[in-house]
Every structure is written in C-alpha cells, then in structure tokens.
C-alpha cells in the first residue's frame, strides 16, 4: 500500500525542517538537477525527480518548483521523455542544449597534481604508458556541460516580490551573490544539499540547511 505523501512528510521528514517550511507563506524552490545528481554518490542511492517535485508540492506554501536540466541533442528522444516527466509532475522546466567539451588525455584528467607527487617513478611511468595508449588509439573523452547559474539567479531575483523564502537545491557558491540580494530584501534562505557538496559560502548565508537524505521521502534505488 502506498503511503500518502503528506503522511510521509509528517512522520519521516525531520521536525525542524517541517517547522521552518511551515513558517513561510510563499516558498519558491529551485532545483539544479545536474548538481543534485552528484549527491547520489554520497547518498549511495538514486532519487526520482518526480517524487521530489510531488513531495515539495505537498506543502501548500511551496508555490512554484523550478527544475534546471539540459537537453541532450545526441539522445533527444530519451532526453525529451525525461523532460516530460518533470513537467508532468508539475514543475517548471528550464532547459537548453548541452555542450560536450573535449578533454585532453593526460595525467590531469585522472589525478590532481598533488596526488601525482605521491606516486613513485614506476607508477608514474605506468600512467604515462596508459596515456600514450589512449592517445594512440584516438580515444576521445568529452565532458557534458550545461550550467544554469545565470538562469537560476535571474529566476530567484524575478520571483523575489512573490516569495517570502526560497529553497535552493544546489551547493554552488556561484549563486551566493543573488542570494545576498534576496537576504537584503528580507527573504529567508533554505539550502538543501548533502554532506561535502555545499559550498561554505552558502552555509554562511543560509537561514536553514536541509539535509536532502533526511528530507526526501520518495523511492530510492540503491547503487
């Protein structure tokens, strides 16, 4: 039997999170989904975006949920299907095409410079041989990139007159400046994240930190 979301919120979500949310009359939530996907490595499980959106909308004072995620034009059918899941859940989707940035195949692709100094000459030689083999066979490594800091910042500032508080699902310090603007306007700031994935600057300006692993009540797929 599926347990209603409001019951899950009431009995599973930490009480102080519920109290902080309930004090505000109009909350807007902003989900930097690429940033959030990195949280899964820390959590040890995967979440469903539609479950997050449903959970948020179960709070009547959360007025809008905006999700930011790129469009993969190399796999457009599946990418658009995923986007439709987000929209069907009721969230506002902000998207744009992903870029794929070629990466140089060298030691820096896999190791920080400081880490390399820990290896002896034999290990460094093996690493060099691996790099040579990858380059010899024409291996191409590309990093997908689709940054939404500007779009999130603009939306937060545009929504400022309608919101009494925001919840930002991101740990990116690049969003500090627009959040400072919101604080000046008297808005309360909630930052949702996981251990080690939220910049210190955001911790310094928040009114409430929400540990995502102790907030999310949706389905979990363990890895």
Give the torsion through C-alpha atoms of 220, 190, 87, 159, to 10 deg: 180
Q: Please, are residues 140 and 101 in contact by the beta-carbon 8 Å criterion?
A: no
Structure tokens given for 194: 């996981």
Question: Which pair of tokens denotes residue 185?
Answer: 């306007």
| pLDDT classification of 111: cutoffs 50, 70, 90 | confident
Q: Which residue do the tokens 């959360």 mark? A: 62
Tens digit of each residue's pLDDT (9 = 90 or more) over 16-28: 999 999 999 999 9
Tell me which of 207 and 135 has the higher pLDDT: 207
- Length of the chain counted residue by residue: 223
- Return the domain boundaries, the chain: 5-98+146-222, 101-142
Q: CATH class for domain 5-98+146-222?
A: alpha beta
Query: Could you give the C-alpha distances from 164 to 20, 29, 44, 159, 193, in angstroms and in order?
Result: 12, 11, 34, 10, 21
- Burial string for 26-54 (b: 16+ CB within 10 Å, else e) reads ebbbbbbbbbbeebeeebeeebebbbbbb
Task: Among 37-41, 85-89, 130-134, name the one with the lowest average pLDDT.
Answer: 130-134
Q: Return the pLDDT at 141.
A: 81
Average pLDDT over residues 9-36: 93
Per-residue pLDDT for 11 more than 70?
no
Query: Are 193 and 14 contacting, i.e. CB atoms less than 8 angstroms apart?
Result: no
Pairwise CA distance, residues 167 & 155, whole Å: 13
**Cα separation of 30 and 174, whole Å?**
14
pTM of the model: 0.85
């Amino acid at each position: 039997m599926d347990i209603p979301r409001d019951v899950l919120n009431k009995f599973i979500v930490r009480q102080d999170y519920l109290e902080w949310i309930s004090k505000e009359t109009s909350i807007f939530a902003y989900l930097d989904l690429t940033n959030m996907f990195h949280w899964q490595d820390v959590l040890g499980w995967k979440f469903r975006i539609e479950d997050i959106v449903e959970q948020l909308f179960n709070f009547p004072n959360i007025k809008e949920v905006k999700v930011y995620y790129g469009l993969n034009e190399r796999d457009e059918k599946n990418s658009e299907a995923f986007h439709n899941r987000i929209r069907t859940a009721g969230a506002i989707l902000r998207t744009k095409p992903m870029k794929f940035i070629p990466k140089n195949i060298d030691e820096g692709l896999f190791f920080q410079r400081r880490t390399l100094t820990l290896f002896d000459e034999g290990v460094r030689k093996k690493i060099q041989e691996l790099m040579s083999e990858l380059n010899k066979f024409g291996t191409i490594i590309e990093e997908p990139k689709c940054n939404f800091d500007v779009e999130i910042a603009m939306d937060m500032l545009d929504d400022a007159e309608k919101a009494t508080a925001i919840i930002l699902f991101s740990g990116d310090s690049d969003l500090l400046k627009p959040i400072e603007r919101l604080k000046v306007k008297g808005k309360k700031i909630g930052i949702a994240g996981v251990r080690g994935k939220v910049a210190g600057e955001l911790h310094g300006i928040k009114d409430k930190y929400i540990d995502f692993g102790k907030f999310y009540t949706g389905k979990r797929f363990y890895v």
